[in-house]
Amino acid sequence: MIEVRSISTASIPSSLGRHFNMSLKPETRDKLKKVSTATLATALYKRGFRTQVIQDVRPLSPLAESMVGEAFTLRYMPAREDLNRLEVFRERGHPQREAIEECPPGAVMVMDSRKDARAASAGGILVTRLMKRGVAGVVTDGGFRDSAEIASLGFPAFHSRPSAPTNLTLHQAIEANVPIGCGDAPVFPGDVLVGDADGVVVLPAHLADELAEEATEMTAYEDFVIERVRNGEKTLGLYPPTDERNLELFAAWRKEHGR
């Protein structure tokens, strides 16, 4: 008999190894709560990252501040009928149910549903449980069921559209805490997810601090710009600041606003 070695993520370049911890600094988390996914996407773009936005997801309810947390992943594969009878949920080791209980507080649970919202990725009970456990949010590139109930929780939950069918119909949870794709974006466990009304952006773990810092600076300038544009200023020379005078005015504005 041929022995086939299981080639796992252990063999991917060691540079990936360090992305698996969940050690987002509190100050970085705080900064990220106050910046937008749009600003972060631009900061990523400057560094050559063009595919770090989870495409076509939106929050089920408005958010007071940006969702922030390390990615705890769950991978779904297409469901095979004999392995997805309703009784499978009676098994304690079912990967979906287990993942719900193991996702660390402060993390964001992110599900690879292969962009297929024809069946739910999860529903109201599991999302409520995540919220109660202190998880920072939940993201799927498929859909949630019980969407009205989830929307009423005020908990950051992002999906593509509501979907009533149980996940067993199409989605078999197969493993947690492995690199996945979500909405065409690569997500490694420990990457930092930030979400707002525009969707969700994935920050490579090793860049979270510098991106948070840069986005905070960019946000200050954007706030200054929007204030001036509201006052009738034109954007040429101001955004970006090719007119030197605007940099001086910005310096004064920062001092005035303590930013």
Site for a second copy in 52-71 (CB under 8 A): 52-53, 55-56, 58, 62
Distance CA 182, CA 55 (A): 8
Residues 6+ apart with CB under 8 A from 223: 259
User: Which two tokens mark 176?
Assistant: 């947690």
Does 27 help bind a second copy (rule: CB under 8 A)? no
Q: Which of residues 164-203 bind a second copy (CB under 8 A)?
A: 164-166, 168-169, 172, 174-181, 184-186, 188-189, 196-199, 201
| Radius of gyration (C-alpha) of the chain in whole angstroms | 21
- The yes or no reply on residue 48 touching a second copy (CB under 8 A) is yes
Contact window for a second copy (CB under 8 A) among 25-33, 212-220, 223-231, 249-257: 223-231
Output 31 or 155, the one with its CB closest to a second copy: 155
Q: Provide the β-strand partners of residue 202.
A: 193
User: Whose CA is closest to 23, among 71, 63, 73?
Assistant: 71
Give the whole-angstrom CA distance, residue 49 versus residue 14.
20
Q: Is 244 in the site for a second copy (CB under 8 A)?
A: no
Total residues contacting a second copy (rule CB under 8 A)? 120
Of 28 and 172, nearer to a second copy (C-beta) is 172
Q: Is 134 in the site for a second copy (CB under 8 A)?
A: no
